[in-house]
Structure 1
Amino acid sequence: MRNFAPIALVFLLLFSSCSDYNKVVKSTDFEFKYKKSLEYYEGGEYVKASTLLKELLNVFRGTSRADKVYYYYAKSQFAMKDNLMAGHYFKTLVKEFPRSEFAEESQFMVGYCFYLDSPSPRLDQQVTQNAIDALQLFINVYPKSTRIEEANRLIIELRDKLVYKSYLSGKLYYDLKNYKAAVVALTSSLKDFPDTKYREELMFMLLKAKFLLATKSIEEKKHERLSSALDEYFTFVDEYPDSKHRKEAEKYHTTTAKLLNYKGDSNL
């Protein structure tokens, strides 16, 4: 009996809680539902809060509290880790209520929800680009926000993911010995993301791809491509004179210089 009493009390409390919530759900007093939805949210009962707030979205449309209902509904979805749904409602809030007190935070959250859903660099990166666009819009619209530094940090992280994706594409072409495609992909990466932390690796792979493309080219294109590889070598060692790849880069330089001399390049 001693053990039964606490268990019975727990069941009684759960039943009472469910009974109270069902009364709220069935109530036609929307002011009461609104008050309870915020109480549930503040109490961490996000499923209950979300259920009530979803109904109130239409009920409070056109009123002074419509933006607050959208805000807490989006926050409830976010708390339940439904970033896609949360982002959608944060975005809707910004669109429908641009002057709302919740608009600034909501614009940030649009980008942050995309950020959290950004996939591995090996997968399609459209969500990553969406996150960058949303966070950049936040920076542009709210340049004095206290979250500007955070937004910039997230953009840098996201952009590095995009460039790593590009690096993987270039590496794939390189591994497949499609050096022409590798040169295009790697050059594009460096142009689009000049400040990436992968810059040294990208530049060295570009040097290798240009060298191998040149050595495997037909005679009509070989000289031009060897010259381009040589230019890439000088660019690389000028920017990274102490690179761990310096020794290997020197081998490419030596071979390229000999091939150009053999072809009669009087400038070497």
Structure 2
Amino acid sequence: MKFRILTFIFGLLLLASCGEYNKVLKNPDLEVKYSYAKNYFALGKFSRSATLLEDVVPMFKGSVHAEESLYLLAQSYYGMRDYMTASQYFASYYNTYPKGEYTELARYYSAYGLYLDSPDPRLDQTQTYQSIKQFQDFMEYYPQSERKAEAEMVQFELQEKLALKDLMAVRLYYNLGNYVVGYPFPGGNYSSCVISATGALRTYPYSKYREEFMYYSIRAKYDMALESVKDKKSLRYRDVIDEYYTYINDFPDGLYVKQIVKIFENSQKQIEDKQFLEQ
């Protein structure tokens, strides 16, 4: 019985709240709408604050409320977790008010919202690149900001996501091997594996995936050497050996040392056998 009474009371309060909100929506007084928008924002009712602010922000241009209302609109969408729309309004704010009261915060939250919206590494990473660029801009504009350390940490995390995406491509190229017929590049998927791994090592030199990039590059080069024509075998085995020394120097106790040492020994043997036959 008590539960039914409480449910009934809650329903009445909800109806009253909805009724009040609908009246405010129809109210032509911009000051009233803005006042309610700020109240709804403070209460965490971001959908309502955003709807009201969408009405008043265009009308407030050039007024004393223009700057604050635009920033609150961006924050309302941020609170709704609509980070793309929030980022657009944050950008509108800091482009309109480059020295505004909330410009530093707008730049930071625009970048951070895109970070929160950054998709799985298997998907398109446009938002990830945008977030990295905006964090770079933020740190250039505010090198002494108290948020700089967090911005650097998040930026590195985003770069690791891009590195992982590249690593997934490297793994795929290697696993495909020679399965794809008519591949347009000499060396087929192994060559693409090496090119992708080498590019990733240059782009992300401090990535936690560095060892694995090197591992797949060596394996792909070794497999290319195995399948090479006779005239190219020695050169490619020597390339594998050079890669081995780089790997061992960087990761003397690495995860793939046993496999890499075996590849190195086989490559050396292939070169020695060839030299013996040529004598």
Same-fold status (TM-score > 0.5): yes
Structure 2 residue aligned with 1:58: 58
Q: Percent identity?
A: 35
Instruction: Tell me how far apart the structure 2 counterparts of residues 182 and 235 of structure 1 sit (CA, whole Å).
Output: 18
Cα offsets for 1:65-111 (capped at 9, x unmatched): 21211111111111111111111111111111111111111111111
Corresponding position: 1:232 with 2:239: no
Instruction: Tell me how far apart the structure 2 counterparts of residues 170 and 9 of structure 1 sit (CA, whole Å).
Output: 61
- Mind listing any 5+ residue stretches in structure 2 that lack a counterpart? 178-188
Q: Aligned-pair distance for 1:223? A: 2.2
Instruction: Tell me how far apart the structure 2 counterparts of residues 239 and 3 of structure 1 sit (CA, whole Å).
Output: 67
Instruction: Tell me how far apart the structure 2 counterparts of residues 161 and 8 of structure 1 sit (CA, whole Å).
Output: 50
Aligned length: 265
Structure 1 residue aligned with 2:111: 111
Letter in 1 for 2:250: E
Cα offsets for 1:39-80 (capped at 9, x unmatched): 110011112111110011111112232121111111111111
Structure 2 residue aligned with 1:252: 263
Instruction: Tell me how far apart the structure 2 counterparts of residues 2 and 226 of structure 1 sit (CA, whole Å).
Output: 82
Corresponding position: 1:242 with 2:253: yes
Instruction: Tell me how far apart the structure 1 counterparts of residues 106 and 231 of structure 2 sit (CA, whole Å).
Output: 58
Aligned residue runs from structure 1 range 36-115, under 5 A:
36-115=36-115
Structure 2 residue aligned with 1:208: 219
TM-score, normalized by length of structure 2? 0.90
Structure 2 residue aligned with 1:140: 140
Rate the CA distance shift 1:8–1:261 in 2: closer, same or farther, 3 A. closer
Letter in 2 for 1:144: Q
Letter in 1 for 2:29: D
Q: Aligned-pair distance for 1:130? A: 1.1
Q: Aligned-pair distance for 1:3? A: 6.7
Structure 2 residue aligned with 1:17: 17
Q: Classify the secondary structure of the residue corresponding to 2:122.
A: coil
- Mind listing any 5+ residue stretches in structure 1 that lack a counterpart? none
Cα offsets for 1:129-166 (capped at 9, x unmatched): 11111111111111111110111111111100101111
Q: Which moved more, 1:31-40 or 1:158-167?
A: 31-40
Cα offsets for 1:188-230 (capped at 9, x unmatched): 0101000001111111111111111122112232222211111
Instruction: Tell me how far apart the structure 2 counterparts of residues 85 and 185 of structure 1 sit (CA, whole Å).
Output: 34
TM-score, normalized by length of structure 1? 0.93
Instruction: Tell me how far apart the structure 1 counterparts of residues 2 and 257 of structure 2 sit (CA, whole Å).
Output: 77
Q: Classify the secondary structure of the residue corresponding to 1:208.
A: helix
Q: Classify the secondary structure of the residue corresponding to 2:275.
A: coil
Corresponding position: 1:194 with 2:205: yes
Letter in 1 for 2:194: V
Structure 2 residue aligned with 1:122: 122
